Structure 1
Amino acid sequence: MRHAHTVEQVRSAEAALLATLPDGALMARAAAGLAAALVDHLGGAYGRRVLLLVGPGDNGGDALYAGAQLARRGAQVDALLVADRAHDAGLAALTAAGGRVVAEVPERVDVVVDAVVGIGGRPGLSPGAQAALDAVRNVPVVAVDVPSGVDVDTGETPGSHVRADLTVTFGTHKVAHLVDPAATACGAVHLVDLGLDLPSAAVSALQPHDVRRLLPVPKPDGHKYTRGVVGVRAGSAAYPGAALLCVAGAASGLAGMVRYVGSDEAAARVHDAHPEVVGGGRVQAWVVGPGTDTDAADALAGALADGVPTVVDADALAHVTGPVASALVLTPHAGELARMVGVDRGEVEASPLRHARAAAERYAAVVLLKGRRTLVAAPGGGVRVTTTGVPWLATAGAGDVLAGLIGALLAAGLDPFDAASVGSWLHGAAATLASGGGPIVAGDVAAALPDVVRRLRP
């Protein structure tokens, strides 16, 4: 599991470790890790021109000490101070190693090191820092710990901020590294281990070994009913294709049986494409909503009447008005969630973590907020971030496949939080596999799911 800790948690862990180490030892570890990452990013040190944008805190000290190491290896390292003070010992180390303090941006720069503010900084940039960044607009940027100006604990970017190509962070990931829009500003993220003793984190991201552990696997004496039966209420005369795609996600092999209930037009297409799918009956989980159009309210009522865990997607989301007796997984995109909580879509896109958590509490349900970094929020504050997937996944019908897949995992026995987060991870991984770097359609994602599962198995 990749954990994303808050500033308070990191500061507490650092303080505990500092009490056991000689003065300067922790900063030395961070600086060494940053210097190594910069050498790797630059493809060497000798002859490279490095510009440090240095703020007043320990973040600036990390950069100055790393700059000293690069200068000793033959790099030209310049430090531009963007505040009225800087880390004195770090400055002394840099100049002793041959680095310089400059008053303006040099003509040629190979990389900019953003050390303006660290995890304790407020969102937004000072005019001086913004002016320096504007002067090196087309130069690659490596951020120290987090891109300056982002909100570290929320992943929001309410003001001007750095957009990094690489972020080198220390001790643990922070929320801003995983949650958009700040995660987009981080670029690639490289973690330097400092040996911190950290508590559990409310925000995390599944890794392949976590998904492997959670995946339902048939028992030797299992049969189709013990593996779980998932029901799908999707599609309509207007949108029969949504039924096909939702069933394709549900029929990916992770549950023992799929039952379909829907319009005659959609049912004919579903049974032609998936002859293994049967009609209505008892199920362990329902998926309801994709393409249900004007039938959405009735479809939702029919699913909830069984009292089993239910995935509510697309058209059916508009008919969820509050908590219900069944365990729910709600799967809105930003526009749908905005309508559900009564705000503008832009507010959800600017603060996805806050709104996903609020919706989970409001509806007493797991809320999966779709996006580049999909968020799965549970009542109580726990959130998992999906880091798999490719931009090509933004294609019509992909959400229908996802809803069916989550339903299958629910029917197979996973709880709603695990089913939603594992389903989202598999969905993104299948899209990556199917894409191969090129365009895909939703059916390609469903078809790739069995291969993704095979690759995860030992």
Structure 2
Amino acid sequence: MRAAERALMARLPEGALMQRAAAGLAAACAELLGRVYGSRVVLLVGSGDNGGDALYAGARLARRGAGVTAVLLAPERAHAGGLGALRRAGGTVGPAPADSAEGLIESADLVVDGIVGIGGKGGLRPEAEALAGVVARSRAAVVAVDLPSGIEADTGQVRGAAIRADLTVTFGTYKPGLLIDPAREYAGVVRLVGIGLELPAEGELQALQHADVARLLPVPAAESDKYRRGVVGIAAGSARYPGAAVLAVSGALRGGAGAVRYVGPAAEAVIARFPETLVSDRGPAKAGRVQAWVAGPGAGDDAVTVAEVLDTDVPVLLDADGLRLAERDAVRGRTAPTLMTPHAGEAAALLGVRREEVEQARLAAVRELAAVYRATVLLKGSTTLVADAGGGAVRVNATGTPWLATAGSGDVLSGLAGSLLAAGLPARDAGSVAAYLHGLAGRFAADGAPVGAHDVAARIPQAWRDVHD
């Protein structure tokens, strides 16, 4: 971002880039307010360009009749041009934070957070932290400039207090911190304002959209049969957890492969629910030809089956018990692709750290896991991350809903992703497309109410059709 801004500023009149940002910010604030004239706006202004953006946007709101007051955290370093524009438009400068801006914020209709920009790291300073607390207690709508102060732009980490915004107006491109939890939950609705930057085609993070997913989804040709479309093998379930096998098969049947083979002790339950499944009781090696395997959901302590699946020369998805039972060297030594799908607790166990460390630094954790295991890793959670062992952009998905935090939901996702592997998608595409569809299916199934994993599986076809509409 900084390199792109420098290149553009060299070609534009001084201040033109900030004016573009301020215009977009002011328009978003006005839309959120509904009625600008007579509204009370408080600007929280730091010493960087975000503070300048806030001041110029405040000037635009003041010219439309808003009562705008700036609270300067570093008065001697406030953006001079922006401060002058605000005063000329009729805006005022309030008391310094040390003198308490609490009354101003509590009576405001809108607070604009321009404290810290993309360079902020290590948490807020004491004065800013105190203001964050006041904002959290107020009833004002909160708009963050580029990103909420207190979150880290590159990592999505939050170290201490942070501003929690209703709307974040970000410029030029999305920042990782706006897409990855825990920072994402502080951003509210994110609006991207283009300011003319020329950015690299491939960033550090990618978020697939409907068109991307539609392009990647397998489509059978006229001459396709069930075997040409791919066969996915499911090695899952146990006497204690037969439902995991049923749910994994339910996801696999809706994932684009032409057939599903099941191996395991839950064959009767699988056939009773899905009679189209090809069942074998002879283990993965003798079950018949497959183009990919899913191993681990509800598998209990069946390490032999997991090892047998890892010894094949086709793509393998490891989930749940499969992650615990798989030998690291067996995963690292595979020549065919491996897709691992841990949640934060499983990822922490694989890395030998506390769960909290994974949850606080999800981007770093998924990259480390992919590198350590030489595998593609799908880290499940409120924002799902997919990383390749070879590096490159990490995929992030946020199509889901908190209602997906229900027993068996991950089994459905594993079956779906495994089916996409069998249909021919590379591991990163299979994982990210499966997460996207699974999240959409969860939204459609829940519709604001509790949902079961079987309901999610049933809505996958609807999600599939939706991305093509």
Q: What TM-score range do you get, normalising by the shorter chain? A: over 0.9
Instruction: Give the residue type in structure 1 aligned to 2:261.
Output: R
The aligned counterpart of 2:435 is 424
Select 1:356's aligned residue among 363, 366, 373.
366
1:335 to 2:345 alignment: yes
User: Residue 123 and residue 147 in structure 1: after superposition, are their counterparts in 2 closer, same or farther (change >3 A)?
Assistant: farther
Instruction: Give the residue type in structure 2 aligned to 1:18.
Output: M
C-alpha deviation, 1:20, in angstroms = 1.2
Show the 5 A alignment for 1:430-445: 430-445=441-456
The aligned counterpart of 1:3 is none
Distance (whole Å) between structure 2 residues aligned to residue 419 and residue 429 of structure 1: 15
Show the 5 A alignment for 1:36-435: 36-84=27-75, 85-103=77-95, 104-105=100-101, 106=104, 108-136=107-135, 137-138=137-138, 139-199=140-200, 200-252=202-254, 254-263=256-265, 266-279=266-279, 280-295=287-302, 297-320=303-326, 321-322=328-329, 323-325=332-334, 326-381=336-391, 382-435=393-446
For 1:225-266, what per-residue CA distance to the aligned partner results, in whole angstroms no more than 9, with x for missing partners? 110000000000110000000000001151100000001xx1
For 1:208-227, what per-residue CA distance to the aligned partner results, in whole angstroms no more than 9, with x for missing partners? 00000000000111111110
Distance (whole Å) between structure 1 residues aligned to residue 170 and residue 255 of structure 2: 39
Distance (whole Å) between structure 2 residues aligned to residue 355 and residue 74 of structure 1: 48
The number of aligned residues is 446
What are the ranges of 5 or more consecutive residues in structure 1 without an aligned counterpart?
1-9
Instruction: Give the residue type in structure 2 aligned to 1:235.
Output: G
Distance (whole Å) between structure 2 residues aligned to residue 70 and residue 128 of structure 1: 26
> Secondary structure of 1:433's match?
helix
C-alpha deviation, 1:140, in angstroms = 2.4
Distance (whole Å) between structure 2 residues aligned to residue 446 and residue 100 of structure 1: 56
C-alpha deviation, 1:130, in angstroms = 2.1
Instruction: Give the residue type in structure 2 aligned to 1:260.
Output: Y
The aligned counterpart of 1:450 is 461
Distance (whole Å) between structure 1 residues aligned to residue 25 and residue 396 of structure 2: 26
Aligned sequence identity (%): 57
Alpha-carbon contact 2:255-2:416 (below 8 Å) kept: no
CA RMSD of aligned residues (A): 1.1
C-alpha deviation, 1:375, in angstroms = 0.6
C-alpha deviation, 1:202, in angstroms = 2.2
C-alpha deviation, 1:452, in angstroms = 1.3
Distance (whole Å) between structure 2 residues aligned to residue 335 and residue 324 of structure 1: 24
C-alpha deviation, 1:133, in angstroms = 2.9
User: Residue 123 and residue 186 in structure 1: after superposition, are their counterparts in 2 closer, same or farther (change >3 A)?
Assistant: farther
| TM-score after normalising by structure 2 | 0.93
> Secondary structure of 2:278's match?
coil
The aligned counterpart of 1:6 is none
The aligned counterpart of 2:284 is none
Distance (whole Å) between structure 1 residues aligned to residue 340 and residue 142 of structure 2: 38
The aligned counterpart of 1:7 is none
